Amino acid sequence: MTVTGQPAMTEQTLDQLQRAAFSYFLQAVNPANGLIADTTRDNSPASIGVVGFALSAYPIAVERGWMTRVDAVERSLTTVRFFRDSDQSGSPEATGHKGFYYHFLDMQSGMRVWRSELSMIDTAMLIAGALTAASYFNAETKEEIELREIVHALYRRIDWSWTLDGKATIRMGWKPECGFLNYGWDGYNESIVLYVLALGSPTHPIAGDRFEAWTATYQWENLYDYDFLYAGPLFIHQFSHAWIDFRGIRDRFMREKRCDYFENSRRATEVQREYARRNPHGFAGYDESCWGLTACDGPSQQEPQQETELADEPRRMFGYAARGVPYGPDDGTLSGWAAVASLPFAPDIVLRTARTMRDRYPENLSELQYVSSFNPTLSRADRRAWVSAGLFGLDQGIVLLMIENHRTELIWRLMRNCLPVRTGLSRAGFRGGWLSRRESNTNHANAHPQ
Partner 1 sequence: MPTRNNSSSTAPLDKAERERRENVHPDGWRNPVPAACYSLVVIGAGTAGLVAAHAAAALGAKVALIERHLLGGDCLNVGCVPSKAIIRTSRLYAEMRHATSYGAQIPGDIRVDFSAVMQRMRGIRARISRADSVRRLTDAGVDVVFGTARFTGSETLTVDGTTLRFKKAIIATGSRPDMPSIPGLVEAGYLTNENVFDLTELPRRLLVIGGGPLGCELAQAFCRFGSKTIIAQSWPLFLPLEERDAAQILSDAFARDGVEVRLNTRAVNVRVEAGQKLVDLVSDDHKSTVAVDAILTGTGRVPNVEGLNLEAAGVHYDADDGICVNDFLQTSNRRIYAAGDACLEHKFTHTADASARIVVRNALFPGRQRLSALTIPWCTYTDPEIAHVGLYVRQAHNEDISVKTFTIPMHDVDRAIADGEEAGFVKIHVKEGTDRILGATIVARHAGEMINEITLAMVAGIGLRALARVIHAYPTQGEAIKKAADAYSRSRLTPFRKGLLRRWLRGWA
User: 17 - beta bridge partners?
Assistant: none
Binding residue (CB under 8 A) for partner 1 from 89, 219, 300, 443: 219
C-beta of 187 vs 202, nearer to partner 1: 187
What mask of x and - would describe binding to partner 1 in positions 52 to 71, judged by CB under 8 A? --------------------
Stretches 101-109, 154-162, 313-321, 348-356: which one binds partner 1 (CB under 8 A)? 313-321
Cβ closest to partner 1, residue 183 vs residue 444: 183
* Shortest distance, position 163 Cβ to partner 1, whole Å: 16
Using CB under 8 A, pick the residue from 16, 89, 217, 441 that binds partner 1.
217
Residue 302 binds to partner 1 (criterion: CB under 8 A): no
Please identify, using beta-carbon distances, which residue of 168 and 389 lies nearer to partner 1. Answer: 168
Looking at 220, 277, 287, 426, which residue binds partner 1 (CB under 8 A)?
220
Q: Which is nearer to partner 1, 65 or 184 (CB)?
A: 184
> Pick from 256, 303, 309, 348: which binds partner 1 (CB under 8 A)?
256
Q: For residues 54 and 35, is the Cβ–Cβ distance under 8 A?
A: no
**Interaction of residue 221 with partner 1, rule CB under 8 A:** yes
If one asks whether residue 278 binds partner 1 (CB under 8 A), the answer comes out as: yes
Q: How far is the CB of 227 from partner 1 (least distance, A)?
A: 7
Contact 417, 446 (CB under 8 A): yes
Site for partner 1 in 387-416 (CB under 8 A): none
* 114 part of the interface to partner 1, by CB under 8 A: no
Indicate left, alpha or beta for 389 from its phi (over 0: left) and psi (-120 to 50: alpha).
beta
Shortest Å distance, C-beta 342 to partner 1: 21
Q: Which is nearer to partner 1, 5 or 314 (CB)?
A: 314
Q: How far is the CB of 300 from partner 1 (least distance, A)?
A: 13
Chain residues 320-349 in contact with partner 1, contact rule CB under 8 A: 326-329
Instruction: Output the smallest distance, CB 94 to partner 1, in A.
Output: 15
Convert residues 146-185 into a mask of x (bound to partner 1 by CB under 8 A) and - (unbound): -----------------------------x-xx--xxxx-
How many residues touch partner 1 under the rule CB under 8 A: the total is 34
Q: Which is nearer to partner 1, 273 or 406 (CB)?
A: 273
Shortest CB 225 distance to partner 1, Å = 6
Q: What is the SS3 assignment for the chain?
A: CCCCCCCCCCHHHHHHHHHHHHHHHHHCECCCCCCEECECCCCCCEEHHHHHHHHHHHHHHHHCCCCCHHHHHHHHHHHHHHHHHCCCECCCCCCEECCEEECEECCCCCCECCCCCEEHHHHHHHHHHHHHHHHHCCCCCHHHHHHHHHHHHHHHCCCHHHHHCCCCCCCCEEECCCEECCCCCCCCCCCHHHHHHHHHCCCCCCCHHHHHHHHCCCCEEEECCEEEECCCCHHHHCCHHHCCCCCCCECHHHHHHCCCHHHHHHHHHHHHHHHHHHCCCCCCCCECCECCCCEECCCECCCCCCCCCCCCCCCCCECCEECCCCCCCCCCCECHHHHHCCCCCCHHHHHHHHHHHHHHCHHHEECCEECCCEEHHHCCCCCCCEECCCCEHHHHHHHHHHHHHHHCCHHHHHHHCCHHHHHHHHHCCCECHHHHCCCCCCCHHHCCCC
- The interface region with partner 1, picked from 66-74, 307-315, 366-374, 390-398 by CB under 8 A, is 307-315
- Among positive and negative, which fits the CA dihedral 65, 21, 40, 381? positive
Specify the residue, 174 or 361, whose C-beta has the smaller distance to partner 1: 174
Q: What distance in Å separates the CA atoms of residue 16 and residue 365, rounded to the nearest whole number?
A: 12
The answer to whether 308 contacts partner 1 (rule: CB under 8 A) is no
Q: Which of 7, 280, 319, 362 binds partner 1 (CB under 8 A)?
A: 280
Site of interaction with partner 1 (CB under 8 A): 115, 175, 177-178, 181-184, 186-187, 216-223, 225, 227, 230, 232, 256-257, 278, 280, 312-314, 316, 326-329
